[in-house]
């Protein structure tokens, strides 16, 4: 059976994420601008790149390679089409991170925003060990209502199967997992969202 993310239409995903009752697309865009500028690196790997939200903040004078990883090939095609100006630095790779982590190239910075929820801590640790970044910047969603982790919207049924792959996130558990593979937490920042939700950015640096 296909991963649920392979069957979710990009328009449904982006329209849901940008609703005034959700506001995650807008918040993520601002966070990614900060993530791209935070560290002295020239390679970055974006896990779960979807439609490329935030790529307009990539500065080509800084980055020589930007890896966009996603399990949905249609998302990657849309990303490449939307950002032709990045064609000489952007490499889109269709990959199942749970099963294909050993095929990932190295990168100095890994960005994993709203991604660890769908592969779990052990698979994410495997990815980091393979890519060997100096810096890892993650965004996880914290829910006041753990029973309703997808915000209500007209697009809600597009996400019906995500329960099959969703893992509830905890800041402390992520930090413990990262410390176990030699990374220390260096930054925490939170952005409040509607419906009692928050996006929490947690950055890590290799010890």
What does the pLDDT look like over 22-63, one tens digit per residue? 888 999 999 999 999 999 999 999 999 999 999 999 999 999
pLDDT tier, 159 (very low <50, low <70, confident <90, very high otherwise): confident
**Cα 26 to Cα 32: distance, rounded to the nearest angstrom:** 10
The pLDDT assigned to 142 comes to 86
154 pLDDT higher than 80: no
Residue 139: exposure state from Cβ atoms within 10 A (0-12, 13-18, ≥19): buried
Q: What is the pTM of this model?
A: 0.94
146 pLDDT higher than 90: no
Q: What is the pLDDT of residues 55-113, one digit of tens each?
A: 999 999 999 999 999 999 999 999 999 999 999 999 999 999 999 999 999 999 999 99
The pLDDT assigned to 63 comes to 98
- Helix spans in 24-100 (H): 24-37, 73-82
pLDDT tier, 151 (very low <50, low <70, confident <90, very high otherwise): low
The number of distinct structural domains making up the chain is 1
- Domain with 101, as residue range(s), is 4-206
Q: Count CB atoms within 10 A of the CB of residue 68.
A: 24
Q: Which CATH number does the domain housing residue 108 bear?
A: 3.40.50.150
145 pLDDT higher than 80: no
How do strand 135-143 and strand 197-206 relate by DSSP bridges?
antiparallel
**Cα 24 to Cα 17: distance, rounded to the nearest angstrom:** 5
């Amino acid at each position: 059976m296909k991963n649920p993310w392979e069957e979710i239409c990009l328009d449904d995903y982006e329209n849901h994420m940008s609703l005034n009752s959700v506001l995650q697309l807008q918040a993520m865009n601002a966070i990614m601008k900060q993530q791209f500028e935070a560290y002295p690196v020239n390679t970055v790997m974006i896990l779960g790149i979807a439609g490329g939200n935030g790529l307009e903040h990539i500065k080509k004078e800084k980055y020589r390679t930007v890896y966009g990883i996603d399990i949905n090939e249609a998302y990657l095609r849309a990303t490449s089409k939307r950002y032709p100006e990045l064609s000489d630095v952007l490499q889109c790779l269709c990959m199942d991170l749970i099963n294909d982590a050993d095929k990932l190239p190295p990168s100095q910075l890994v960005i994993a925003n709203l991604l660890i929820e769908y592969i779990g801590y052990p698979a994410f640790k495997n990815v980091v060990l393979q890519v060997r970044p100096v810096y890892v910047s993650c965004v996880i969603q914290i829910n006041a209502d753990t029973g309703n982790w997808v915000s209500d919207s007209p697009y809600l049924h597009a996400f019906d199967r995500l329960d099959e792959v969703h893992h509830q996130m905890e800041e402390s558990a992520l930090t413990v997992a990262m410390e176990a593979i030699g990374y220390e937490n260096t930054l925490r920042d939170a952005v409040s969202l509607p419906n009692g939700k928050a996006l929490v950015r947690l950055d890590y640096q290799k010890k």
